[in-house]
């Protein structure tokens, strides 16, 4: 495995930039989410209604993987998808406007937080757990039939690995040797159900063996480790050697969704999550090894804060869609 | 002794009392244990009955809903929660090809006392995969009973009836009626509920407001929109009768026919999609039975579009009091 020192500095800075941007974005969005939702929490009130699943603590998974992806590669995410969207390059302004339900959003306000679609960057996600896996298989089929070299990444949580779709898709991708990377983002929880009570094996990466494909488990506390593992899997897929499974161990810093009382979660678990912060860990590593200076990081931070603020301003100042839009667009090729 | 309960507490109380009465009753589903169900329908059950009878499951709906069939075939009376009805797709084969048909296909040898309870409804911007009603889709399948309470009294009584029924019952609760702290609910939905167990018969509609000029048929949250509309209409001298169907299968066709015979006008309010659904079934019932209407019937339903996310878009398509008032005025 490559050492930190062997990776070009601009790559390291880019990794840091994306991780920090995601964190800044998620924490800022959370502030906006609670506007007009206090003193009494009302899920339908405020500028961002509906559910909100944030990804703070899981940035390393998205960035470590997406650093190797090109716009034409597909990434299919889950209900918790902002980090992957940002890491994949989705337009932050349009994404934010979508989350605020505005006409200028990615889908004109029809999709919303759990249903972000950006065809330009081949990004999509959905609110149905386990839906991503077979869909990525289809992208892999297309790549093979068209003789093109893009790959598909399907993301799911540790909970999603218990859906039938996961197992069916792994088998299909394996028998057809498709350029698909299955990513299990293991934060130990499926809402309130801990992984050890829902999953018969301790590591989802072991399930790859059942389908004859490589399965690797990697510590998401270390974004460089994720970066390296993803690099290998994605290069392998590009070389036509077939699918692989990557399990990334991360920690959920917030509730399952915003407003989650988390009464099921032991305090120690939340404490552990805070200690396992991949962003702080990476920052510390970069500084300790003298690879970057505080000033360099501060500059990145300022840029990110500015970019996130611009995205929020864009969303807030955008108009809502015309109500009649609701009736349009059910079918392609007309109303 | 009756006390006012929110719907979620009425449901969990019904389940608890049936679990005490009958050791064959048990519950399975995602987050139904320590969390108490995302919408609170199983709150307190884990503490009372332990993890053997209150089983948190992996996100494997096909497996645990299919497992309900196996358990029922051995004399158990499983209750399974499908967290949002929108997720039915991942488990539908077990529901419609197996649980619904086992009794019939086995020539009556097998009974399926399974309750599938599930959350439905929108109005809070949860978008196209978390806001649907879809009861019409299940009501279309022979072999499934469909109940949809609109208040806590019916919620408890229908749950007890569902558990005691030897057939599969799909129990739909509207998120916006549960009385959860974080989701607004009409205060009218939390009514007095007796402490002791009781049943509300499956298949009986209820006239929730009497009137002479028009019949408004609804279920779940739309019952309140209809009642609020009726109140306003009364101020203008229009007397509306409101029927809460409470059960879609079997459907209380007599209640609909009797009312329409009296009023001669029909409006159906449906938060489910418009085409091929509950609204069409109610109107067909009237037409097939030759009841003559003064004017053609009207349906106010979710237009045939996926549920949009943005609040302005969702409000535009969601049936509500104003739309009902306008519709009634066009036919009177
Ligand atoms: C098919 C389906 N079943 C259940 C749900 C409800 N649900 C949404 S997220 C979630 C937990 C997901 O856990 P995991 O896959 O580990 O992802 P995480 O939320 O931890 O990122 C559940 C049960 C759903 N959206 N889709």
Q: Is there a contact between A159 and B184 if contact means CB atoms under 8 Å apart?
A: no
8 A C-beta contact, residue B9 and residue B152: yes
Q: Which of A35-39, A328-332, B12-16 has the lowest mean pLDDT?
A: A35-39
**Residues of B with CB below 8 A from A199's CB?**
58
Q: What pLDDT is recorded for position A5?
A: 85
Residues of B in contact with A162 (CB under 8 A): 58-60
Q: What are the Cα distances from residue B314, in Å, to A318, A327, B59, B311?
A: 18, 10, 29, 5
Strand order in the sheet with A123-124: A123-124, A74-76, A152-157, A180-186, A244-249, A215-219
Asked if pLDDT for residue A188 goes beyond 70, the answer is yes
Q: How many contacts, defined by CB atoms under 8 Å, are there between A and B?
A: 150
Nearest CA to ligand 1 atom 17: A157
Closest Cα of chain B to A134: distance in Å? Answer: 13
Q: Are strands A123-124 and B169-174 parallel, antiparallel or unpaired?
A: unpaired
Q: Say whether A80 is catalytic.
A: no
B97: left (phi over 0), alpha (psi -120 to 50) or beta: alpha
How far is the CA of B288 from the CAs of B89, B115, B202, B238, B285, in angstroms?
A: 33, 32, 23, 27, 5
Could you tell me the distance, in angstroms and rounded to a whole number, from the CA of residue A231 to the centre of ligand 1?
27
To the nearest whole angstrom, how far is the Cα of A70 from the nearest Cα of chain B? Answer: 29
CB contact under 8 A, B58 and A263: no
Confidence of residue A252 (pLDDT cuts 50, 70, 90): very high
Please pick, among A18, A53, A252, A254, the residue that the annotation labels catalytic: A252
Output the CA–CA distances (angstroms, integers) from residue A150 to A78, A245, B232, in the order listed. 21, 17, 60
Q: Tell me, rounded to whole angstroms, the distance of Cα B169 from its chain centroid.
A: 11
Contact across the interface for A192 and B31, Cβ inside 8 Å: yes
CA A193/CA B35 separation, integer angstroms? 9
Of B33, B125, B181, the CB nearest to A112: B125
Residues of B in contact with A323 (CB under 8 A): 312-313, 315-316
Inform me whether the pLDDT recorded for A282 exceeds 90.
Answer: yes
Q: CB of A126 closer than 6 A to ligand 1?
A: no
Average pLDDT over residues A29-38: 96
Give B59's contacts in chain A (Cβ within 8 Å).
129-130, 159-160, 162-163, 190, 198
pLDDT at residue A38, rounded to an integer: 85
> How would residue B81 be classed by pLDDT, with cut points 50, 70 and 90?
very high
- What chain B residue is nearest to A330 in terms of C-alpha separation? B305
Q: A254 Cβ partners below 8 Å, 6+ apart?
A: A30, A54, A56, A57, A260
pLDDT in tens, B118-146: 999 999 999 999 999 999 999 999 999 99
Cβ within 8 Å, pair B56-A50: no
Q: Which atom of ligand 1 is nearest to the CA of A80?
A: 21
CA separation for the pair B323, B318 (Å, rounded)? 9
Residue B100 has pLDDT above 60, yes or no: yes
- Confirm if B204 and B249 have CB atoms less than 8 A apart: no
Taking the C-alpha atoms of residue B99 and residue B203, their distance in angstroms, rounded to an integer, is 20
Q: How far is CA B204 from CA A194, B183, B240, B263, in A?
A: 42, 29, 20, 20
The residue-averaged pLDDT of A42-62 equals: 97
What residues are paired with B300 via a beta bridge?
B269
Count the residues in chain B.
332
Inter-residue contact A21 to A307 (CB < 8 Å): yes
CA distance A185 to chain B (A): 15
Would you say residue A335 has pLDDT above 60? Answer: no
Tell me the C-alpha distance between B70 and B114, whole Å.
Answer: 10
A16 given a catalytic annotation = no
CA of A160 to the centre of ligand 1 (A): 7
Quote ipTM for the complex.
0.96
C-alpha triplet A2, A161, A141: angle, nearest 5°? 75
Quick check: A327 and B87 CB within 8 A?
Answer: no
Mean pLDDT of chain A: 97
Measure the CA–CA gap between B206 and B255, rounded to whole angstroms.
8
* Bond preceding residue A335 cis, omega within 30 of 0: no
Residue A187 in contact with ligand 1 by CB distance below 6 A: yes
User: In the predicted model, is pLDDT for residue A86 greater than 80?
Assistant: yes
This prediction's pTM: 0.97
Residue A212 has what pLDDT? 98
* CA quadruple A326, A327, A328, A332: dihedral sign: positive
Q: Does A130 touch chain B (CB under 8 A)?
A: yes
Average pLDDT on B296-303 reads: 98
Whether chain B has a CB inside 8 Å of the CB on A235: the answer is no
d(CA B95, CA B36): 24
Phi, psi of B217 (to 5 degrees): -105, 135
* Strands B25-29, B77-84: pairing kind: parallel
With contact defined as beta carbons under 8 Å apart, do B140 and B87 qualify? Answer: no
Q: Give chain B positions within 8 Å (CB) of A191.
A: 30-31, 35, 38
Interface contact flag, A159 B58, Cβ < 8 Å: yes
A263 CB within 8 Å of a chain B CB: yes
Radius of gyration in angstroms for the set of CA atoms belonging to chain A, rounded to a whole number: 20
DSSP of B283-331? HHHHHHTTPPPSS--EEEEE-SSPPPSSHHHHHHHS--HHHHHHHHHHH
Closest CA to B65 of B90, B40, B36, B101: B90
> How far is residue B15 CA from its own chain's centroid?
17
Among A63, A50, A52, A51, smallest CA distance to A22 is for A63
Q: Which pLDDT score, from 0 to 100, does residue A102 have?
A: 98
Distance from the alpha carbon of residue A43 to the mean position of ligand 1, in angstroms? 18
Q: How far is the CA of A176 from the centre of ligand 1 (A)?
A: 28
Asked if the model's pLDDT at residue A2 lies above 70, the reply is no
Q: How far is CA A283 from the centre of its chain?
A: 20
Q: What is the DSSP letter of A118?
A: B
> What is the H or E stretch that residue A120 is in?
none
Interchain proximity A40–B60, CB inside 8 Å? no
Subunit contact A41:B314, Cβ cutoff 8 A: no
Q: Is the pLDDT of residue B68 over 80?
A: yes
């Amino acid at each position: 495995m490559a050492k930190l020192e062997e990776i070009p500095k601009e790559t390291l800075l880019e990794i840091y930039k994306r991780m920090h941007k995601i964190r800044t974005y998620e924490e800022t969005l959370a502030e906006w989410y609670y506007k007009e939702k206090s003193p009494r929490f009302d899920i339908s009130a405020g500028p961002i209604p509906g559910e909100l699943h944030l990804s703070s603590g899981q940035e390393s998974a998205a960035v470590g993987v997406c650093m190797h992806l090109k716009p034409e590669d597909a990434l299919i995410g889950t209900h918790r998808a902002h980090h992957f969207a940002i890491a994949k390059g989705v337009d932050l302004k349009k994404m934010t406007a979508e989350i605020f339900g505005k006409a200028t959003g990615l889908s004109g306000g029809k999709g919303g937080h759990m249903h972000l679609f950006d065809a330009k960057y081949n990004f999509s996600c959905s609110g149905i757990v386990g839906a991503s896996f077979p869909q990525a298989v289809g992208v892999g089929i297309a790549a093979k039939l068209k003789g093109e070299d893009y790959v598909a990444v399907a993301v799911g949580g540790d909970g999603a690995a218990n859906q039938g779709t996961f197992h069916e898709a792994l088998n299909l991708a394996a028998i057809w040797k498709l350029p698909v990377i299955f990513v299990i983002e293991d934060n130990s929880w499926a809402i309130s159900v801990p992984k050890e009570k829902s999953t018969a094996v301790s590591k989802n990466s072991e399930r790859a063996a059942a389908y004859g494909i490589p399965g690797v488990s990697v510590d998401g506390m270390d974004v460089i480790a994720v970066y390296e593992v993803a690099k290998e899997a994605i290069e392998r897929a590009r070389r036509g050697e077939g699918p692989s499974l990557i399990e990334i161990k991360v920690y959920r810093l917030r509730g399952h969704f915003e407003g989650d009382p988390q009464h099921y979660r032991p305090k120690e678990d939340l404490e552990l999550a805070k200690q396992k912060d991949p962003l702080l860990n990476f920052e510390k590593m970069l500084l300790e090894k003298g690879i970057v200076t505080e000033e360099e990081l501060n500059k990145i931070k300022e840029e990110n804060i500015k970019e996130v603020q611009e995205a929020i301003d864009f969303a807030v100042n955008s108009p809502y869609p015309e109500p009649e839009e609701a009736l349009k667009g059910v079918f392609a090729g007309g109303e | 002794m009756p006390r006012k309960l929110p719907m979620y507490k009425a449901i969990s109380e019904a389940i608890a009392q049936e679990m005490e009465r009958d050791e064959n009753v048990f519950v399975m589903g995602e987050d139904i244990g320590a969390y108490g169900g995302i919408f609170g329908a199983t709150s307190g059950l884990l503490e009372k009955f332990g993890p053997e009878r209150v089983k948190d499951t992996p996100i494997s709906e096909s497996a645990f809903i299919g497992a309900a069939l196996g358990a029922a075939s051995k004399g158990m009376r499983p209750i399974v929660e499908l967290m949002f009805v929108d997720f039915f797709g991942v488990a539908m084969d077990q529901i419609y090809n197996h649980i619904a048909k086992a009794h019939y296909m086995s020539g009556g040898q097998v009974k399926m006392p399974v309750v599938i309870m599930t959350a439905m409804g929108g109005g809070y911007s949860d978008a196209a995969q978390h806001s649907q009603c879809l009861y019409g889709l299940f009501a279309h399948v022979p072999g499934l009973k469909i109940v949809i309470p609109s208040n806590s009294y019916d919620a408890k009584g229908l749950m007890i009836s569902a558990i005691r029924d030897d057939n599969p019952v799909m129990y739909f609760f509207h998120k916006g009626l549960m009385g959860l702290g974080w989701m607004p609910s009409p205060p009218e939905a939390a009514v007095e509920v007796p402490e002791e167990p009781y049943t509300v018969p499956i298949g009986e509609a209820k006239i929730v407001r009497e009137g002479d000029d028009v019949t408004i048929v609804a279920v779940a949250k739309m019952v309140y929109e209809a009642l609020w509309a009726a109140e306003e209409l009364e101020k203008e001298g229009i007397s509306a009768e409101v029927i809460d169907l409470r059960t879609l299968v079997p459907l209380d066709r007599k209640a609909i026919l009797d009312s329409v015979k009296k009023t001669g006008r029909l409006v159906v309010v449906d938060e489910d999609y418009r085409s091929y659904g509950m609204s069409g079934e109610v109107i067909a019932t009237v037409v097939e039975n030759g009841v003559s209407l003064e004017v053609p019937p009207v349906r106010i339903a979710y237009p045939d579009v996926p549920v949009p996310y943005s609040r302005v878009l969702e409000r535009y398509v969601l049936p509500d009091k104003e739309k009902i008032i306008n519709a009634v005025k066009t036919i009177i």
